[in-house]
Amino acid sequence: KSPSPLSLINNSSNSHLSTLDLSDNSFDSSIYNWLFNLTSSSSLVKLYLVGNLLTGPIPDAFGNITSLSRLSLANNQLQGVIPKSFGNLCNLKELYLRWNNFS
């Protein structure tokens, strides 16, 4: 059995991670716990989660990844509204949310 791509990235190596592209992997919303644990002490600048199976509202915890300058959650099944916590993303220059089901 092949290891999950997520198991190849561990917390000991995340402090220098600046770009994380997990697009088109059929990840569902269960990835959030792993992702927010990984990014809690990182300097992540670019995060791509395009074309996965993310559903429901965007978690407020994205607003805690304050180093982000580019975030793409496009082409998922997200819904609801953009969280107010996105106001914490002072470095954010590009945000891609198209092809979701926002109200």
Return the half-sphere exposure (C-beta side, CA atoms, 13 A cut-off) of residue 41.
6
The three-class DSSP label of residue 14 is: helix
pLDDT one-digit tens code per residue, 26-60: 999 999 988 998 877 678 999 999 999 999 999 99
* CB contact at 8 A, 53 and 76: yes
Please state the domain extents for the chain.
5-102
Residue 2 CB neighbour total at 10 angstroms: 5
The whole-model pTM stands at: 0.87
Q: What is the CATH number of domain 5-102?
A: 3.80.10.10
Look up residue 77 and give its DSSP letter: E
Return the half-sphere exposure (C-beta side, CA atoms, 13 A cut-off) of residue 49.
22
